[in-house]
Amino acid sequence: MKLPFQLGIMTDEVSQHIEDAIRMAHEFGLTALELRSVDGLQLHQLEPQRLEQIGEQIRKAGLAVCALSTPVFKCELDDPEEVKRSKEILLQDLRIANLLGAGILRGFSFWAKADVPFADAFPRIVRELQSIAPLLEEAKVVFTLEFDPAVYATNGAKVARIVEAVGSPWIRALYDPGNDMWDPDGEVPYPDGYEHLKPYMCHIHLKDAVRSGEEVEAVAVGTGQVDYRRLFARLAEDRYAGYCIVETHYRLRSKLTEEQLKRPSGHLFSEGGEEASRQCLQSLFGLLGELFHEKPQQ
């Protein structure tokens, strides 16, 4: 099956052991891994020697590290010390990105406060992002801003506004249609979220969910309410050639807590991830097979 885009998986959605993620990538013919936490630790908490070992393992496996999923700017916007610490983590993660050959680093738009509307926080968010653009340019790493229900930019429309206002080629958008299922504004993942982000998008995460009233339940990609059939067809039509990274974000025998969804990392987060990720990939490839199957020769 020839796909118009590249596929990979978030390693800690499989396991905290990098070997398990490599094995699953080979099993499904994936070409890349995205790193978030390994050995129970976030990337910036790992020793340099361990990071070199991880990079060597991945290279020997014939896989690419396409991106780093970092917690940068998952912090309080109005707390100078927290912002400073987040920028220190950014510097560490940029060095790790260079070490591992990753050209993309994922980050956020600060924890949302109920008494501070997005419009009020917007100018400060833009300034903080503009302040890191020189660091990104120096490292030659693109910062992709992801929307999330716990931060100020809860959907594609808000991320698009921020990225446009920042005005830097080193700060782009990450499109995660599954996250729209948790959007308090109710943005439709596709086509609405996609249309907002298309001019700024350089990376995609894949997850799925079902929403019933105020309750949202994560499910395997292609079995929920995100219109992945039309989205994948559109990606092919628009010649998107970047990465689509599976971020499973659900478990078969348990349910991730709100805290785990806000701060995914560590051994407890990865428990049950391998079997859920396998089911997710099987579902995904079933859908992709229907859409992009090779026509028989005449």
* Backbone dihedral angles phi then psi of residue 155, each to the nearest 5 degrees: -155, 180
- Placement of tokens 């490839």 in the chain: 285
For 245-266, what is each residue's pLDDT tens digit?
A: 999 999 998 899 888 988 999 9
Q: If pLDDT is split at 50, 70 and 90, which confidence band does 214 have?
A: confident
| 53/94 Cα distance (integer angstroms) | 18
Domain presence at residue 175: yes
Q: What's the confidence (pLDDT) of residue 224?
A: 97
To which H or E segment does residue 284 belong? helix 273-292
Q: What's the confidence (pLDDT) of residue 297?
A: 41
| 287/283 Cα distance (integer angstroms) | 6
Judged against a pLDDT cut of 50, whether residue 271 lies above it is answered with: yes
- The sign one gets for the Cα dihedral 16, 18, 20, 25 is positive
Can the peptide bond before residue 80 be classed as cis, meaning omega within 30 degrees of 0?
A: no
Domain presence at residue 297: no
Distance from the Cα of residue 229 to its chain's centroid: 20
Q: What's the confidence (pLDDT) of residue 156?
A: 98
Q: How much is the mean pLDDT over the chain?
A: 96
To which H or E segment does residue 33 belong? strand 32-35
Judged against a pLDDT cut of 90, whether residue 293 lies above it is answered with: no
| 64/32 Cα distance (integer angstroms) | 5
Which CATH number belongs to the domain containing residue 67 in this structure? 3.20.20.150
Judged against a pLDDT cut of 60, whether residue 241 lies above it is answered with: yes
Q: What's the confidence (pLDDT) of residue 287?
A: 96
For 3-13, what is each residue's pLDDT tens digit?
A: 999 999 999 99
Check: CB of residue 151 under 8 Å from CB of residue 112.
yes
* Backbone dihedral angles phi then psi of residue 160, each to the nearest 5 degrees: -60, -40
Q: What's the confidence (pLDDT) of residue 196?
A: 98
More confidently predicted of 213 and 284: 284
Interacting residues of 38 by C-beta distance below 8 A, sequence separation 6+: 11, 12, 16, 17, 18, 46, 50, 54
- Which domain does 64 fall in, by range? 6-292
Q: What's the confidence (pLDDT) of residue 294?
A: 55
Can you state the angle between helices 48-60 and 80-100, rounded to 10 degrees? 40
Q: What's the confidence (pLDDT) of residue 2?
A: 86
| 176/174 Cα distance (integer angstroms) | 6
Q: What's the confidence (pLDDT) of residue 296?
A: 41
Domain presence at residue 298: no
Domain tally, the chain: 1
Domain presence at residue 90: yes
Q: What's the confidence (pLDDT) of residue 113?
A: 97
Radius of gyration of the chain (CA): 18
Domain presence at residue 91: yes
For 141-198, what is each residue's pLDDT tens digit?
A: 999 999 999 999 999 999 999 999 999 999 999 999 999 999 999 999 999 999 999 9
Instruction: Give the pairing of strands 243-246 and 6-10.
Output: parallel
Domain presence at residue 41: yes
Domain presence at residue 12: yes
| 56/101 Cα distance (integer angstroms) | 11
Judged against a pLDDT cut of 80, whether residue 43 lies above it is answered with: yes
Domain presence at residue 251: yes
How much is the pTM? Answer: 0.96
Q: If pLDDT is split at 50, 70 and 90, which confidence band does 72 have?
A: very high
For 11-40, what is each residue's pLDDT tens digit?
A: 999 999 999 999 999 999 999 999 999 999
> First and final CA of the chain: distance in angstroms?
18
- Placement of tokens 């994936």 in the chain: 30
Check: CB of residue 93 under 8 Å from CB of residue 106.
no
